[in-house]
Structure 1
Amino acid sequence: MAVNLRGRHLLSLRHHTPEEIKFLLDLSRDLKNKKRAGIRGNLLAGKNVALIFEKPSTRTRCAFTVACIDEGGHPEYLGKNDIQLGHKEDVADTARVLGRMFDGIEFRGFKQSVVEELAKYAGVPVWNGLTDEFHPTQVLADFLTIQEEFGYLKGIKLVYVGDGRNNMANSLMIGAAKMGMHFVIASPKSLFPAEELVAECKKIAEECGSGAVIEIMEDPKAAVKGAHAVYTDVWASMGEEDKLAERKKILQPYQVNAELMEATGRDEAIFLHCLPAVKGYEVTEEVFESRRSRVFDEAENRMHTIKAVMVSSIGNL
C-alpha cells in the first residue's frame, strides 16, 4: 500500500507507522542525492512556511530555511519578539491567523501542548522543531545517519547515555520501538524516563510487531556492550541551566569517553550527538573528534529529513 503523508502533522513519532517513517527516510535519501547532484527543485514552489521559534536554534532554523528554499518555497522566521503567541494573543488565535497565510508551520519552543494546540487550530500541517518532551525531526536525522552507516535499522543496538528523561531519550525510544531496534537508556535512577512512556513504547513494539527491545539500566558500561551506536545529549537542557552543577555530579560516570566507546566491543561502533555539545562534560573532545563520530553527518541530515517532512505533507508531489 502506498504511503500518503499529505496534510500530516509531525508532533512526535507516536502517530507515524513504521512504513511512514521508512518512507520519510527513503525520501530524505533521495532528496539528499538530488541536492548533492546540484539539482534545485520546485517541490515547494508557491508554498509559504512559518518558522516559529521560542527557543534559539542553529540546526533546526537553518535546516528548515535551506530545505524550503532548495525546493522553491518561502520560509518566514518568527522569533519570540516578532509575534504575540501566548501573550497578547492566545495560541488558538495565532494558529488560525497563520493557517490562513501559510501552507505549513514549524514550532520550536518549550511546551508540547503549544505545538499540539497549533496543530488543532491551524488547518495546515504543523511540525515540531523541538519541545521539552519531543524532538522528532532530530530522530529522523539520527536514523538516516545510522542507516547510511550500517544499511539497516531493525536489530541495531542504540544506547542513549545520560539524562534519560529528556526530549531526545523520549523521542529515540518511540522511534526505536517503531523501527525494531534494541534501544537502551543508561542513566541514574533519578533521571530514568517516565514509566508510562517506557510501557507505551514496549506496547508500540508489540502492536506493530517490530521486534524492538527497550531496556533501562544504571550501569553505562553494561548498557553499551554490543552497541552499534552510542548517543548522548547535554546534561542540562535549555531552561534547566540552574540544575547543571547537580547534573555534573550525578552524570559524570555517564560521560562518553574512549573507555566507554571501547566497552561496546565493536570496532565499528559510532558516536552520535544532536548538538550543540558541551565537550568535556557529556562527551570528551577525543571521542567527539574521533573516527567514530558522526555528529556532523547527523547535523547535515537534519536538512534532508526536514525537507522530506515538508515535501511529503505540503509538497507538489
Structure 2
Amino acid sequence: MKQLLKNTLFYGIGSAGLFPVFRRIFAGRAAIVMFHEIQRDCRSELMTGTSAELFDYSLSWLQREGWAIVSLEECLAQLAKNDRSRRYAVLTFDDGYRDNVSVALPILERHNAPFMVYVPTAALTRTLQSWWLGLRELIRSRDDVTIDAMGLRFRCPDFRSKQFALRKVDQWVHHDFKRVAALATTFNKAGISTSALNDRYFLDARALQGLSRHPLASIGGHTTSHAALATLDAASARDELADNRNYLENLLQLSVRHLAYPYGAYGLREEHLANEVGYVSAVTTRHSQLSDHQPNQFALPRIGVCSSFDSETSFAARMSGVQSAMLKLGACLGRE
C-alpha cells in the first residue's frame, strides 16, 4: 500500500509536468544507480530484477534529460572538481549475473554507457550461499511452501501470493543474516541446489575475464562469500575484503579499486577496513544522490532500480529528486 501511494504521487507529479522543477531543487549533482539482474522475462523470475525494457528506458531517460553516464572514477573526479556544468550518472551491477552480459551489455553498448560490476568470489567458484536464488526457485516451483526455520507455511498458487511469500521470507532473513544457514534444511528437502543455481545465474571466471576487457566495463569487489560484513568479527571482515580483491586481481590481471558492501551492511569499521585493504571507494544501498563535491567515498549512496516496485514514471520521479523531497518533508514534519 505504501508503495502504491508513492507511485500514485509520482504519477501525479509527472502528469503535472513538475519533474524538471523538482530536479532543479532536489536532485543531486550525481547519482549511482544500482541494478542486479536484468531479466528478459521478469515475471517468470517473480519481478526480482529489472526488466530489459525498464533498463533500456532508464538509460534513454538519463541521456535525454542531460545526465552524462560515466564511469565511477570519472564521476568522483568531476565531483572533486566541483563541476556543476552537468549531472553525472554511474551504472552499477551487483553480484555478476550472466544476464548482465547476455541482456544488459547490448543495451549498454547501444547507449555507449560505462558500467561497474561488483563480483563476490563465491559466485565464480559456485560456492556462494545464494539463498535468495534458492528461495525464489522454491516459491516459484511450488504452490505450497513451508519454511521450517520460520515455522510458517505459505499457500502460493498464483503470482501475487508467490511475490508475497518471497517478500515475507526475504524480510525475515534481512532482520538477521544468521538465519541464512537455517534455510539450508528447507532447500535440501526440496532438492534445490544453490551450487546449480549459481552455475545457472552467475558468470563464471572465464566469462568475467572476457567482460573485464570490454572498454565500457569496470570490475569491483563484493567480498569473498557475499557476507554481511557488519555481522562478522573484524579479522573475518577484513579477510572477506582482502581475499576477494586479491582473487579478482589475480584472475583479471587488473587493479580492483572499488567495492560494494553486500546487503549494504556496513559501518565505520567496514569503511576503515575497506580503505585499509586498498579500495578507494565503497557503495552502499542507502537511497540518495550525491550532492557534496567531497562525499565520503567509503559510504556512497545509490538509487536502486527493480521492476517489483519501479516503473518508468517512478524511475523518472526518483532521479528527479521527488523521493528525496518527500524524505526531507517527512523529516521536517517529524521534528515538529
**TM-score category (smaller protein):** 0.3 to 0.5
| Greater relative contact order, per chain length (Cα 8 Å cut-off, separation 6+) | 2
When Rg is computed on C-alpha atoms for both structures, the one with the higher figure is 2
Larger proportion of helix: 2
TM-score with structure 1 setting the length: 0.32
